[in-house]
Amino acid sequence: MSHVIEVTHLTKEYKKLRAVDDLSFTVEKGEILGLLGPNGSGKSTTINCILTLLSYQNGSIRIFNEEMRPSAYDMKRKIGVVFQEVAVFEELSVYDNINYFCGLYIKDRKLRKQYVEDAIALVELQNFQKFMPKQLSGGLLRRLNIACGIAHKPELIFLDEPTVAVDPQSRNAILEGIKELNRCGATIVYTSHYMEEVEILCDRVIILDQGKLLAAGTCDELKKLASIEEKISVEIRDLDEAHRLCIQEMEQVESLSYDGQVLQIIYKQGQDHLIALMSYLQKEQIPYHRIYSERPTLNDVFLELTGKELRD
């Protein structure tokens, strides 16, 4: 596969803060790359550097095998951006907003009309074309935001947290739209805090923190990085301290937590601990309602890599 984006040793500093620190990665043609990281990890700064909205101190950025510059209009023509903030004009209708932004890329009126209609269909806004943005709900507004960014059918799309604060129905429609764009051949760089979205959508994931690359790979590859192997949750009422200590002493148990309702046990290695635990509970005649086993999620990997302390 050829590189659509090639970032090499990118460094961006703001006075005393190093927002991006010697970052290198590539994005391959036709893939969806997930860019993960806590708030302030450098995701948006990296995207803004790639889009030439920000200058940077060191490194290089190549898109479609060419150096990215503010005046690289031919390259910009192939790029679509959906910003985290809803970037539309309050004074223009849904149709006019999409038509305006599409018109910055596509001069031919007939072609543009077709593209605008395709974008409206993709985000399912056919019934809201004449609505003004302030008349739309949060979910519809997000969909309009996406339509404005992708109406010109770009080859490379940056989606910066496009599903923030939207209802499950809208989120589903947005995710389906993104998959459709990818099926049509678009390469996508996707940032989000919703791990399940990233797991569903992305072919590859990069985890950033404090401007540095912590890990990169497919979701399965990243999960292997986790120090835990299995997570078992049991709904039990009134589990006494002695039993808890006994479970804690069982083989491969990394940690245990109990909130009076659910007992959660994390195992370091192995995937067959469920039978052993159920045998113990039956032997001790401890009643339980539900019991289920989970593999580590991307969320577990993310928290393990980036830490659990709160960020700004």
Question: What are the CB-based long-range contacts (under 8 Å, 24+) for 163-168?
Answer: 163/192, 163/194, 163/197, 164/84, 164/193, 165/138, 166/138, 166/139, 166/142, 167/138, 167/139
Residues contacting residue 110 through CB under 8 Å, at least 6 positions apart: none
Q: Is 105 in the site for another protein (CB under 8 A)?
A: yes
Q: Which is nearer to another protein, 97 or 306 (CB)?
A: 97
Residue from 83, 115, 128, 267 in contact with another protein (CB under 8 A): 83
Cβ proximity to another protein, 44 vs 306, nearer residue: 44
Would you say 20 or 98 has its CB closer to another protein?
98
Note whether 195 and 297 are within 8 A (CB). yes
Q: Pick between residue 52 and residue 233 the one whose CB is nearest to another protein.
A: 52
Q: Does 164 bind another protein (CB under 8 A)?
A: no
- Please give the Cα distance from 39 to 48 (Å, whole number): 15
**Rounded to 10 degrees, what is the CA torsion of 260, 262, 263, 266?**
-140
Judged by CB under 8 A, the residue of 96, 124, 199, 304 near another protein is 96
H or E segment to which residue 238 belongs: none
Pick 66 or 235: Cβ nearer another protein: 66
Pull the structure tokens for residue 296: 């580590």
Interface pick for another protein out of 14, 15, 85, 309 (rule CB under 8 A)? 85
Please tell me the distance from the alpha carbon of residue 126 to that of residue 129, in angstroms, as a whole number.
6
Q: Is 87 in the site for another protein (CB under 8 A)?
A: yes
Q: CA 284 to CA 118: how far, in whole Å?
A: 63
Our finding on whether 222 is near another protein (CB under 8 A) is no
Query: Taking CB under 8 A as the criterion, which residues in 126-155 touch another protein?
Result: 148-149
Question: Which residue lies nearer to another protein by CB, 74 or 241?
Answer: 74
Contacts of 239 (CB under 8 A, 6+ apart): 258, 263, 286
With contacts defined by CB under 8 A, name the span among 92-100, 214-222, 231-239, 277-285 that binds another protein. Answer: 92-100
Q: Which residues bind another protein (CB under 8 A)?
A: 51-53, 73-74, 76-77, 79, 81, 83, 85-89, 91-92, 96, 100-101, 103-105, 107, 148-149
